[in-house]
Structure 1
Amino acid sequence: MNDKQLLMIPGPTPVPARVLQAMAKHPIGHRSGAYNKIQAEVTANLKWLHQTESDVLTLTVSGTGAMEAGIINFLSPGDRVLTGCNGKFGDRWAEICTAYGLQVEKITAEWGQPLDPEAFRQRLQADTAKEIKAVILTHSETSTGVLNDLAGINAAVKEHGQALIMVDAVTSLGAISLPIDDWGLDVVASGSQKGYMIPPGLGFVAVSAKAWVAYETAKLPRYYLDLGKYRKATAKDTTPFTPPVNLVFALQAALQMMREEGLEAIFARHNRLQRGTRAAIHALGLATLGPDDCASPAVTAVMPSQVDAEAVRKMMNQRYDIALAGGQDHLKGKIFRIGHLGFVCDRDMLTAIACLEATLKSLGCDVPMGAGISAAAAVFNEA
């Protein structure tokens, strides 16, 4: 059956009909008063979602573009930075920093394990000359399904006193509470195709007052990604360059839906989906890549022992029209990843688990049929 695919990947995520309908409207001029009103509403709701009174800027980029913008606007060539590397995306930020001539020092952990806040604390305490300018890390490491201890690492950064903290919140923003102002986070980047429930194409960067001070002396090259331009334009309810107007329509509708649901309900739903998914996977006798106590609310990485992970993904897609994500780099063929982020509900997860059970059985795996469904349902019925 055509047009029936269920996206159970960590991005792009399913898009609500209300958002698709908003996208289908005829474009309007982005220099018009009508657009200014939409921009003002979107900006206010972005600040609500980010739990901040500081700037939240919208760029026509992916999550990677938002992170690159966050890095290049507040640093200068030769600056020392600490990067947390325990997955594909932590490694990516180190690569971007290297490309821009920064002095990169990595704090690493095995893929599937969380970063150790104490390792950051020790490195920062040793920097008595205050030469480290920024600490850059991924909150929810999408490649492994691990949630890093951002609060703990941020506490170490705050003890240092000088370094900025820059956060990839691409699959955590909108899935778990991220109190930017309360924690004093300086740069937080995210992307539209994740918790925002809209297609790819928009990136968001939240910027603190401390980061704007660093902006004044930062010397890395920037033009299209110059956040100062976006700050001035956003203050006037406009944009410095042509935005994807229909994606902004989608964003407006999605943020309205999120406000209707409420932050606490959104976070509770993602927590419930995470726990239900992991309960189901364990009940089927499968292993998850990371431990339960640092599980991402956005994605669960599964390590099947009786079958190649790509065979599972292929049959899930061909027979049931359900898309699962694969492993990256050295984990390709060893894991598959189940996304439970954004416009996903209990019903979607139960459907995916039922189909996963049938798929594993068809591939010759010895799994207790119905055990996954029962385990997930038990979690979902707790309320």
Structure 2
Amino acid sequence: MRRVVCATWLCLLAGTATATDYRANAQDYRDYVRRLQPGDRLLLAPGDYLHGLPLRNLSGLADQPIIIEAAQPGDAPHFIARPGANTVSLADVRYLVLRHLELDGRNQPVDAVKAEGHSHYADFITLDHLYIHDHAASQQNVGISTKCPAFGWVIRGNRIERVGTGLYLGDADGSDPFVGGLIEANRISHTLGYNLQIKHQASRPAGHVDRHDTVIRYNVFSKQDALPGPQARPNVLLGHVPLSGAGSRDRYLVYGNLFLHNPSEALMQAEGRVALYDNVFINSEGDAIHIQPHNDVPRDMVIFSNTVLASGTGIQVRRAAESPYRQRVIANVVAAAAPLRDGEAAYNLISPYRADLLDIAVSELTPHLLAQRMKTARLPQSLVRELAAYPGWKATTYPGARVSSALQDTLDASWP
């Protein structure tokens, strides 16, 4: 295929690199991958791609990433899994963008996107509007997986369904941490195991010693058809950051998400350092939020301005004996069989679980639960000012979550 050169003669006179658009199809695309340089784009024609997308030793720049995307966003290239190889395989790569691709697992025992365990790094990777499906040969098959140090990822606007695990970030032994990520506006459903797990972190690689927050916002996490028994997992599980030294002050900021139904585990489980706010949790078959030891203990946490509807426990905090850390549970609206269990609770509005509340639109749930209590539920202005320091909080003088337009966009979004 011909290439389209985007640079002008002025760029050549100045000695700057030439950014190039390459157009390729299912027969010749791999010939172009190895020549990609900073700023280049590989535009893929519609069709069935049978030989995967191995990306090795490719590095863009912060202001000139390498981009691989659909030539026609409404007609995504269709990558079909093959035995023995992960479909998108990343090793020693930086500043890559993958956009508008379909990854069809056909239930082969492989992952859709994997930063491979033999890689030294996979940093500043953006996965944008991928449609990942049918990677469910077992719970071990993952939509997006990192098994090497992964810094600065953006996982945005993806639809992931019918997979073993949606996102599995980090390694089981706490090595190869996922640091400073942004996970936003994804819709993850019909997973055998977790919708999302970020593993605990034993240490921090050299070069990333500053504090970094990982942000999880405006996603839909749904496990309404989860399996009981050995495969039972929460929708989301967050492990701890390094216990001391570099990275020990990192946080997870989890806000503006919708967590839906899980018949065998809680919707959310976390330890470590987490701020959990402005989320809606709905579970007609069990518990909503479990704060509890996993590989370490819950550290300083704040759980505020959430709306919870759960037939089991709403918010449960299990802290280690004589722990010096605080888990504050503030200004939540909770309708559950057992609304609150432990934690430093204040200004929460609680009521019994009622199955008829499931019929109320997500955006109307908080106003409905507040309707009869408005006069007594107002929050102190000092607390409102304190909570306003958290990014993205929908500041309000009343408890509970507000459904943002960004979350509504996730609910309304369509994919090819």
Greater relative CO, 1 or 2 (CA 8 Å, sep 6+): 1
TM-score surpassing 0.5?
A: no
- Higher radius of gyration, 1 or 2: 2
* Larger helix share, 1 or 2: 1
